[in-house]
Structure 1
Amino acid sequence: MAQPSPEQPRTRTPLPKSQLAATWLIQLAEPITATVIFPFAPEAIRRTGITRGDESKTGYYAGITESAFFITEALTVYFWGRASDRFGRRPILILGPLGLSFAMVGFGLSNKFWLLVLFRCLQGVFNGNIGVAKTVIAELTDDTNVGDAFAVTPFLWSVGVTIGPILGGLLANPQDRWPIFNDSPLFREHHYLLPCLAAGGLSFAIFIVSLVTLKETHPNLAKKAKPNSRTPLLQDGRPTVDYGAAGEEGHQEPAKPLRSPPLSEVATRSVMVVIGNYCLMSFNNASLDVLTPLMYSTSIPAGGLGLTPFKIGRIMFAFGVVNAVMQIGLTSFLIRRWGAPKTFTVSAFCGLLAFTAFSCESYLARLAGYIDWRVILALVVQWSFAIMISPTYGAAHVLIVHSAPSPEALATTNGLAQMLCSATRALAPTAASSLFALSLETHALGGFLVYALLIFSMTVLVWWSLMLPRVSLGK
């Protein structure tokens, strides 16, 4: 059969939706469990007594709590990836939501600060397999549909950050909101157990579904499938590995063992440029996630908006719904239309504009003494730009996959990217919340020091993104 001309556009391969759906569900557990505590975390920290009644110190301890999640994720993500090379993708993936369900319940039962940190660490450990999920997606796709598959990731994050905050805001302090919980000593003692039970229950349901439906994708451990027309990702023009497909004579070739390449072979210049941009974007976005409930819950005279956990949850829920709707098809469309590098740059610039709104909101709230229409307008503008941050992740995942030096290096490249990303995200909560507290205590730059530094960080990201390598995707 004649081979198609290199110039001829390749037919886009249909996505293997059943297996991708199981992997996407596991990815969905991360944003839900990560964001469910956002509406009530500052209040929960104050209730432990660790701040001794000093509102300005909440930021320091909020940073420790949030950083614990990303530090433990960073310490384990690379090893989860290596473990998946040895034991298979499936057992490593399904272990994540199971562990998350127990860690969330433990967090909800904690009334001491050190216990909050401990169970937040465990959440980070069981979220460390997120790099394995990205490897599975790459193994299930080829270069004609990889952009479509990874475009779902920011959509899932949008759905997760919609579900998580509304659970946290709506279900926190149930004894004060619903009569059915008034006489419950359990919920009167543990004010935040109900939202943690809800998030943990969703994680356990995801564990059950993935246990039943998820199949192994590791080339050497998966059951041999019938040959099909799909071209495995990264094989075009690169060294290939024979995974036991039948040869022309009809006999089965033994599968070659895959070698896990050392970091020195993986950390090429193009790989590190992509990972560097991915890490800095993750740092800035994690800072946005931490500052939002912290700034919104701080009193207006102190530089915040004085909102309750319920109101914060409603704002984050509204953003999440709009963001989820917008991400349906948006990321894949932008990547196909502009390419992954340009999509990343434009989205990063929108993130820069979103950060500038914090200082406007604080200034306008203090000027009026309450939340007036100008503050509401600033909130709408902020979250309108924040919606465009999500496509950076889909673009970054495509760039990471295509920058991998070989198919054998795919899992290690994803593991390295996730490890370094988690490390930088671990710095973000402590850095952002501590700078927030420092800005309030010292009144540096009128209390806006933290916003000025993060705006500078986003400006550096936009400039650095112009150096991203160009990739060619199937149309």
Structure 2
Amino acid sequence: MVRPTAAMDRRKSSTVHYQTFPTPPPKSKGQPPSDTSASPNGTDHARYGSHTSNHDQSPLPVKQLVVLAIISLSEQTALNSIGPYLPQMVSTFPDVKVGQVGLYVGLVASSFALAQFTTNFFWGWLSDRIGRKPVVLTGTLLTAACFVAFGFVKTLWQAIIVQVLMGLVNGNQGVVSTCLGEITDKSNQSRAFIYLPVIYGLGGITGPVVGGLLVARNAHFTKQNPYPYLRPNLVSAVVLVVDLVVAMMFLEESLEEARDLPPLGKRVGNLFSWVWQFASSTRPSYLRIPEVARKPSRHMNGDAAMDDDDVHSDSDNASQASIPTMLPHHTTNLTHSQVFNRDTMLLMSTYLIFQLSNISYNSLYPIFAQAAPPRGRHLSPEEIGFSLAFAGAATIIFQLGIFGKLREKLGNKVTYRVCLAGMAIAFVLTPWVGYKHNENGYVGISSGKGWLWAELGFVLLVKSLAAVGCLTSFLLLVGPSSY
């Protein structure tokens, strides 16, 4: 009878390699279950805005919140800078007729939104595979390049192509929201998510101001000024480059599975090394068996076959250990029922309607404001920019001073419904805003420059407050704290 050898023991122990990869213990508090987070009938109080105690609240990760705020503010500044001058820009394209400005402004704006819609799921999937930070850096860099290109467009089709490219490479908004959910837990998530629309409000101030002030009132494509819309786009690109540097230096990876990977620069180097070896060698180094492993050693009992098997097992370990580490290993997967449950599908459906109407209004408002009466109100790019900046400032005041108390009294669900109704009211009132001058003979609610700005300011105020309330309520209803 053959006596067990040390090689047999090692052979048995080597089977652990085929079970799983080592998984580090969690480093954050995550989303711990709470007795106060659910009612007896299963309703999530954190989701619907119940009163919770502040005794066990975790401190906010201020440093990472500031970094995410800078990323969001830079991106919103750049994206919102296009609105004030886009109608004027489209009207100066040689292939656009006078009565078609509104149609083509909508086409340019919708091309960005449609392209962004087609790749949002891809960027989310990619951030789950390689980490949040690489996706944020890639999106920021490519978006900055698109803004530089947009400053050099001279025709309608060039503008559409650049906007499509900008939408395809821009998926940072969803990734930033995901990062925000991952660096917080149930106890402080509602406070963190309230500040995200505040940043969007700041971007609603800085973006229109940049776009409105850096474009001349009657800018046209001439030999003396062949690129009249280059300045705001270069400023937007510079803002995004600063954002890129800040993210590279200070943004921490929030995906749990990717935190123990080498730094991003090392992972990129590993990727190039892997590709180079794969392309330049018939048998890359990470697939070769070391020479030492090829030589079987004999024990005193002469059982060489068993040692040979053991050597091959060890060589498999060495081979896999030499593969460059580039991707995180995922240990958990959500089931279909966890993702596509009834509440989530209802929220996503209403959010689709909200965003469709919100983006449509944001695209149509500059056309309405810039067009000549009776279709529009004949405002300049500067006036359009300042009107949008006023709306952005109002949303900040509302979000910081009023919305939190309103949400505590009404709850997230009721607040969401009220804000959706507010959006509808703003849409109905917009066509009835008065005109600048009485002598035109056009009738709105009233006439005169003062009445125009009072009525326009009221409509923009209702629309902006309702939009930011919808966004915040939706994030809190469907956010990670709800599951």
Partner of 2:396: 324
The superposition leaves residues 436-464 of structure 1 with CA deviations (integer Å, 9 ceiling, x where unpaired) of: xxxxxxxxxxxxxxxxxxxxxxxxxxxxx
| CA–CA distance in structure 1, aligned partners of residues 432 and 403 of structure 2 | 29
| CA–CA distance in structure 2, aligned partners of residues 397 and 50 of structure 1 | 42
- 2:470 equivalent to 1:392: yes
- Please give the secondary structure, in 2, of the residue aligned with 1:289: helix
- 2:335 equivalent to 1:298: no
| CA–CA distance in structure 2, aligned partners of residues 136 and 117 of structure 1 | 31
Any stretches of 5+ residues in structure 2 without a counterpart? Answer: 1-31, 37-51, 262-327
* 1:84/1:195 CA distance change after superposition, 3 Å: same
Partner of 1:382: 459
- Please give the secondary structure, in 2, of the residue aligned with 1:122: helix
| CA–CA distance in structure 1, aligned partners of residues 163 and 92 of structure 2 | 17
Partner of 1:373: 450
Partner of 1:411: none
Partner of 1:188: 225
TM-score by length of 2: 0.69
The superposition leaves residues 379-399 of structure 1 with CA deviations (integer Å, 9 ceiling, x where unpaired) of: 122123123221211110111
Superposed displacement of residue 331, structure 1: 3.6
TM-score by length of 1: 0.70
* 1:125/1:50 CA distance change after superposition, 3 Å: same
- 2:407 equivalent to 1:335: yes
* Greater mean deviation of Cα atoms: 290-299 or 276-285: 276-285
| CA–CA distance in structure 2, aligned partners of residues 207 and 5 of structure 1 | 38
Percent of counterpart pairs with the same letter? 25
Partner of 1:235: none
| CA–CA distance in structure 2, aligned partners of residues 156 and 198 of structure 1 | 19
Superposed displacement of residue 326, structure 1: 2.8
Contact map agreement 1:83 1:92 (CA 8 A) in 2: yes
- 2:243 equivalent to 1:166: no
| CA–CA distance in structure 2, aligned partners of residues 42 and 387 of structure 1 | 21
Q: Report the count of equivalent residues.
A: 364
Partner of 1:20: 65
Superposed displacement of residue 4, structure 1: 12
Contact map agreement 1:187 1:193 (CA 8 A) in 2: no
* 1:170/1:132 CA distance change after superposition, 3 Å: same
Partner of 2:248: 211
The superposition leaves residues 304-351 of structure 1 with CA deviations (integer Å, 9 ceiling, x where unpaired) of: 101111211121122222322332254444333332112212222222
Partner of 1:201: 238
| CA–CA distance in structure 1, aligned partners of residues 344 and 354 of structure 2 | 16
| CA–CA distance in structure 2, aligned partners of residues 176 and 309 of structure 1 | 10
Superposed displacement of residue 367, structure 1: 3.9
- Please give the secondary structure, in 2, of the residue aligned with 1:49: coil
| CA–CA distance in structure 1, aligned partners of residues 180 and 34 of structure 2 | 28
| CA–CA distance in structure 1, aligned partners of residues 33 and 363 of structure 2 | 51
Superposed displacement of residue 100, structure 1: 1.6
Matches within 5 A, 1:264-283: 265-283=338-356
Q: 1:32 aligns with which of 57, 63, 77?
A: 77
Q: 1:111 aligns with which of 142, 145, 154?
A: 154
* 1:42/1:263 CA distance change after superposition, 3 Å: farther
| CA–CA distance in structure 2, aligned partners of residues 173 and 360 of structure 1 | 29
Q: 2:433 aligns with which of 361, 379, 385?
A: 361
Higher Cα radius of gyration: 2
* 1:267/1:208 CA distance change after superposition, 3 Å: same
* 1:403/1:140 CA distance change after superposition, 3 Å: closer
Superposed displacement of residue 212, structure 1: 0.2
Any stretches of 5+ residues in structure 1 without a counterpart? Answer: 178-183, 225-254, 406-475
Partner of 1:450: none
* 1:140/1:350 CA distance change after superposition, 3 Å: same
2:474 alignment partner AA = A
2:130 alignment partner AA = F
With CA pairs under 8 Å and 6+ residues apart, which has the higher RCO, 1 or 2? Answer: 1
- 2:197 equivalent to 1:154: yes
The superposition leaves residues 120-168 of structure 1 with CA deviations (integer Å, 9 ceiling, x where unpaired) of: 1222123213211111111111112111111111111111111111111
| CA–CA distance in structure 2, aligned partners of residues 12 and 209 of structure 1 | 28
- Please give the secondary structure, in 2, of the residue aligned with 1:61: helix
* 1:41/1:191 CA distance change after superposition, 3 Å: same
- TM-align CA RMSD: 2.9
Matches within 5 A, 1:44-443: 44-52=89-97, 54=98, 56-173=99-216, 188-223=225-260, 257-261=330-334, 265-301=338-374, 303-361=375-433, 367=441, 371-389=448-466, 390-402=468-480
Superposed displacement of residue 371, structure 1: 4.3
1:277 alignment partner AA = T
* 1:57/1:395 CA distance change after superposition, 3 Å: same
| CA–CA distance in structure 2, aligned partners of residues 6 and 59 of structure 1 | 54
* 1:315/1:364 CA distance change after superposition, 3 Å: closer
2:383 alignment partner AA = K
| CA–CA distance in structure 2, aligned partners of residues 131 and 175 of structure 1 | 37
Superposed displacement of residue 190, structure 1: 0.8
1:206 alignment partner AA = D
| CA–CA distance in structure 1, aligned partners of residues 102 and 423 of structure 2 | 22
The superposition leaves residues 345-376 of structure 1 with CA deviations (integer Å, 9 ceiling, x where unpaired) of: 22222222222221211578664587433322
